[in-house]
Structure 1
Amino acid sequence: MNVLVLGGSRFIGKHIVDRLLHEGHAVTVLNRGNHSYTSSNVEQLIGDRDGDLDALKNRTWDAAIDVSGYIPRTVDKASARLAHVVAHYTYISSISVYEDFSKVGLTEEDATKQLSEDKITELTKGTAGPIYGPHYGGLKAAGEIVATRNMPGRTLIIRSGLVVGPIDYSDRLPYWLLRIKQGGDVIAPGNPKQQVQFIDVRDLARWTVSSVEQHVTGVYNVTGPSHVMTMEDVLKACNRVCNNNANIVWIDDEFLIDKDVLPWEELPFWLPSSLSGAASVNKVKAINKGLSFSPLNKTIQDTHDWLSTVENMTLSNLKAGMSKERELEVISAWNAK
């Protein structure tokens, strides 16, 4: 196949491009050129998907994979432009589109967030995103609508869960690995048996490419693993990879919230019970279409090995996680109870 990837130079996009090449497909990427794809096997087109898409003129592809569509305006422009020159369009969305994360076992049929046209205009004025925060999911949901409208019957919507693995710039799993490797007492949030969901980026890429090859359409939750995975499982795996350097200190949700510890941001993967649905999303539909999962230990080990190759990768440089000073403050208060 001849495949166009919108984005394609960072994390999810790069892994999808690598998988396409592995399967023998011809790959073109369109991006602004800020992060060039270095492989000579990839054709790179320079364009601004919120403005100049002239690089797509007089071109055709068998399929397009939209990795960088964060707001509906840019998804609309790209999918409308490509509607007559590609046979299949894949939009990488997010489980963040769901309206009610108090519900356990969310399926593709559950309600998604809705934003008015006026609100979308207000939020996206002057930016092509990403716009993180409370409206991220609503903007992704609106992107799903315009992609499906522009290419009815030819669109695959992938609602991805949290994605982890090598070259992850979100720093969530890297935080736990670097902090545990540092050793000493490490705060672990809440209940050790709290469910956690994420997917190895290579599993996401493999399923995406396979689905494009098979012209799969419709909406799919794509997260993992196939079984219940707990916070304890994840942190134990991190500790094993880091030679059991750390003493894991489990601290109650209520205590952490009372100390204004930020779920997800300061302690990645931790969600309050009111949002437990985000860690128990139903992915049976995708599994029935061939979604499979790498062992947790492999994902952890490979991420650890990648981190060891990154210059100046320290806890203080990360976008996620808790500072050492803050951690000591919370642990001291916990021990003084």
Structure 2
Amino acid sequence: MHLLIIGGTRFLGRALVDAALAAGHTVTLFNRGRTNPDLYPHVETLVGDRDGGLDVLNGRSFDAVVDTCGYVPRIVRAAARRLADQVGHYTFISTLSVYSDPSRLDMDETAPLGTLEDESVEAVTGETYGPLKVLCEQAVDEEMHGRALHVRSGLIVGPHDPTDRFSYWPHRVARGGEVLAPVGPDYGVQFTDVRDLAEWTIRATAARLTGPYNVVGPVQPLPMGDLLATSRAASGSDAAFTWVSEPFLAAHEVGPYVELPLWAPTAYAGYNAFNNDKAVAAGLTFRPIADTVRATLDWLATRPADHEWRAGLTPEREAALLQAWHAAEDSR
């Protein structure tokens, strides 16, 4: 398969390139040449801009395309329209944020989708991100006429993750000491190792799967206690976990998912409880969590010591919260 990847040099994109090359496929990249431009010197790269700079694609044909970085429907439609007669299949990387009710548990691909009152909006915010992805999916479908796969991914984790929304936990546990943890050890969380997501996406694209798939793992939500215990074993730290309640987190205005990664309050409980039966039936598999934790720690060790974390509690904030929690316990 000759595969065109839009993007391909940051996080999921580079994992897709690695998975495609490992599977024996030929890869061509299309991107602006700004992020890690020398990452794949032996892979053809077409330098352009998906927003008005698609001419470099003229006259080219590919078996399939994987679009890793589509957020604005107008721009996604332009790419799909340009490529409709040049590719056999279009894989669009979407998101589980397309669904309208984040409190709903066990949502499958038929759950209601989010909408925008003004569909001309192009600003990507926390409120518009999901509905814009819905419109992007629709744009691809309208241009590709039944030849499109929509990969609705959950939280993507592992090496090269720029968001730190998972990496915080292996890193924090490795530091040792008392660790503030959300809700309780049985609290279930969902995420997908970027390598599992990439490998499945390449296989699904080669198989010409179509329609939406919830691509998130594991098969059942992972208990938070298992994640933290695995992280402790991987690093050999002396971390001890203090589980604090959702009312406490809310009362102290702890931000879910970013300030305290993987924690979603009850109103957003669906973020950790999606139905992935369709993708699993189509061959989605999950490596052991210990593999993900170890690979994440190994990658984190290559980052500069002064790296500015984009997610997670600061040491000062965590210490203050732990002090408040213990004070409340002592007063009971």
Is the Cα contact below 8 Å between 1:184 and 1:246 reproduced in 2?
yes
1:202-241 aligned at under 5 Å gives the runs 202-241=195-234
Secondary structure of the structure 2 residue equivalent to 1:196: strand
Aligned-residue offset at 1:283: 0.6
Task: Give the TM-score of the pair, scaled to structure 1.
Answer: 0.94
User: Is 1:158 paired with 2:151?
Assistant: yes
Indicate the residue corresponding to 1:299 in structure 2.
Answer: 292
Task: Give the TM-score of the pair, scaled to structure 2.
Answer: 0.96
RMSD of the TM alignment (CA)? 1.2
Unpaired runs of 5+ residues, structure 2, are none
Aligned-residue offset at 1:99: 0.6
Aligned-residue offset at 1:275: 1.2
Is the Cα contact below 8 Å between 2:175 and 2:237 reproduced in 1?
no
CA-to-aligned-CA distance 1:56-77 (integer Å, 9 cap, x gap) = 0111111000001011111111
Is the Cα contact below 8 Å between 1:191 and 1:253 reproduced in 2?
no
Indicate the residue corresponding to 2:39 in structure 1.
Answer: 38
Is the Cα contact below 8 Å between 1:307 and 1:313 reproduced in 2?
no
Q: Percent identity?
A: 42
Aligned-residue offset at 1:244: 3.0
Task: Quote the Cα distance in structure 2 between the aligned partners of 1:77 and 1:103.
Answer: 34
Indicate the residue corresponding to 1:8 in structure 2.
Answer: 8
Task: Quote the Cα distance in structure 2 between the aligned partners of 1:60 and 1:286.
Answer: 28
Structure 2 residue identity aligned to 1:319: R
Is the Cα contact below 8 Å between 1:76 and 1:146 reproduced in 2?
yes
Secondary structure of the structure 2 residue equivalent to 1:21: helix
Task: Quote the Cα distance in structure 1 between the aligned partners of 2:206 and 2:322.
Answer: 51
Indicate the residue corresponding to 2:314 in structure 1.
Answer: 323
CA-to-aligned-CA distance 1:124-151 (integer Å, 9 cap, x gap) = 3xxxxxx241211111111111011110
Task: Quote the Cα distance in structure 1 between the aligned partners of 2:139 and 2:38.
Answer: 28
Is the Cα contact below 8 Å between 2:113 and 2:131 reproduced in 1?
yes
Secondary structure of the structure 1 residue equivalent to 2:120: helix
User: Is 1:179 paired with 2:172?
Assistant: yes
Aligned-residue offset at 1:37: 4.7
User: Is 1:100 paired with 2:101?
Assistant: yes
Unpaired runs of 5+ residues, structure 1, are 125-130
Indicate the residue corresponding to 1:52 in structure 2.
Answer: 53
Is the Cα contact below 8 Å between 1:37 and 1:44 reproduced in 2?
no
Structure 2 residue identity aligned to 1:292: T
Indicate the residue corresponding to 2:304 in structure 1.
Answer: 311
Task: Quote the Cα distance in structure 2 between the aligned partners of 1:178 and 1:226.
Answer: 25
Structure 1 residue identity aligned to 2:309: L
Task: Quote the Cα distance in structure 1 between the aligned partners of 2:155 and 2:264.
Answer: 13
